[in-house]
Amino acid sequence: MSFSNLGLSEKVLAAVAATGYTNPTPIQEQAIPHVLARKDVLGIAQTGTGKTAAFVLPMLTILEKGRARARMPRTLILEPTRELAAQVKENFDRYGAGQKLNVALLIGGVSFGDQDAKLMRGVDVLIATPGRLLDHTERGGLLLTGVELLVIDEADRMLDMGFIPDIERICKLVPFTRQTLFFTATMPPEIRRITEAFLHNPQKVEVSKPATTAVTVTQSQVPAGREAHEKRELLRRLLREAKDLKNAIIFCNRKREVAIVHKSLQKHGFSVGALHGDMDQPARMAALDQFRKGELPLLVASDVAARGLDIPEVSHVFNFDVPPSRR
């Protein structure tokens, strides 16, 4: 799938090409056509999936037609923090460079007067944190009755920060007939309730977590023979030859495999512990404790048993099996 099949305007496609992106990310591919068809969208996606461009690009296409009126923004984007609001503004500056759009930020810590002057000139895109936005509407300098499209971004973070009552108030100030795009990484009950109240027949778009690896981690893939014993032999060689190996976790996909690899490494003289879902809590704690203290520098573990463990200073990780993909 390429960007040109999504229905975006020529200007927007040129801006995307100038950025160097070749293909849309899954959230972009799925959400952009719905946004352009003026449908409500419920996007379950987190930062890092390309979700900002998933609403910025079609918004730029939609905004090519029409003009802004004083004090009546045409579109409104709500963000939980100043930093996120500023990032969204940067996206509009980047992709909307060829368009004469007025984009305004309403965030705390910026002079009220400057913001008010900008609103007076007419705004195509208003990016705001909820509190500052309500300050402006209460002072009468801002009317939300012209908003054609509302974006509520990072809704679950808004919930954590106590902004849901503000969001509910804002939703009552924008026209009932607007288009709403709603993004959240998770769906706790309170967020589900809001989506039911404020979205009309939404198109649900869900993407899995991006695979992220810290930049400080060097990864490599080593081809192995098909036979299990060949893989174990290769593992031993990698363990012996690894540079600066202080300790290592070796992940296997199945408990049975954990037991086999553990026994095999022991037989070949390695100091190694094991961790899998069938072990009782004291045995798991003991294995982890020995690994943390460096008494057993190697730990063979099943993915499920070790998921989410926070063990500082692990120098090496070996995936004995290809890890299963997960959401």
- Give the residue with the Cβ less far from ligand AMP, 51 or 276: 51
Of 53, 59, 126, 258, the one binding ligand AMP by CB under 6 A = 53
Residue located via tokens 């869900």: 206
Is residue 33 near ligand AMP by the rule CB under 6 A?
no
Of 21, 122, 135, 268, the one binding ligand AMP by CB under 6 A = 21
Is residue 146 near ligand AMP by the rule CB under 6 A?
no
Tell the smallest beta-carbon distance from residue 140 to ligand AMP (Å): 34
Contact assessment for residue 45 and residue 51, using Cβ atoms and an 8 Å cutoff = yes
Is residue 43 near ligand AMP by the rule CB under 6 A?
no
Strands (E), the chain: 41-44, 75-78, 103-106, 125-128, 149-152, 179-184, 203-206, 248-252, 272-275, 298-302, 316-319
Q: Which stretch binds ligand AMP (CB under 6 A): 50-58, 100-108, 234-242, 302-310?
A: 50-58
Is residue 184 near ligand AMP by the rule CB under 6 A?
no
Is residue 203 near ligand AMP by the rule CB under 6 A?
no
Buried b (16+ CB within 10 A) or exposed e, 195-227: beebbeebbebebeeeeeeeeeeeeeeeeeeee
Sheet of strand 248-252, all strands in order from the earlier edge strand to the far edge: 272-275, 298-302, 248-252, 316-319
Is residue 51 near ligand AMP by the rule CB under 6 A?
yes
Tell the smallest beta-carbon distance from residue 45 to ligand AMP (Å): 7
Is residue 131 near ligand AMP by the rule CB under 6 A?
no
Of 48, 66, 131, 294, the one binding ligand AMP by CB under 6 A = 48
End-to-end CA distance of the chain: 22
Is residue 88 near ligand AMP by the rule CB under 6 A?
no
Q: Which two three-digit tokens encode residue 155?
A: 């809704």
Is residue 49 near ligand AMP by the rule CB under 6 A?
yes
Q: Which stretch binds ligand AMP (CB under 6 A): 4-12, 41-49, 296-304, 309-317?
A: 41-49
Of 35, 43, 44, 52, the one binding ligand AMP by CB under 6 A = 52
Is residue 13 near ligand AMP by the rule CB under 6 A?
no
Q: Name the residue whose CB lies closest to ligand AMP.
A: 52
Is residue 99 near ligand AMP by the rule CB under 6 A?
no
Of 9, 25, 129, 184, the one binding ligand AMP by CB under 6 A = 25
Whole-angstrom distance, CA of residue 285 vs CA of residue 275: 9
Query: Cβ-count burial of 16 within 10 angstroms (0-12 exposed, 13-18 middle, 19+ buried)?
Result: buried
- Which residues touch 238 (CB under 8 Å, ≥6 apart)? 222, 318
The CA dihedral of 118, 159, 81, 77, to the nearest 10 degrees, is: -40
Q: Which two three-digit tokens encode residue 218?
A: 């060097």
- Give the residue with the Cβ less far from ligand AMP, 86 or 317: 86
Whole-angstrom distance, CA of residue 170 vs CA of residue 135: 11
Residue ranges in contact with ligand AMP by CB under 6 A: 21, 24-25, 28, 47-53
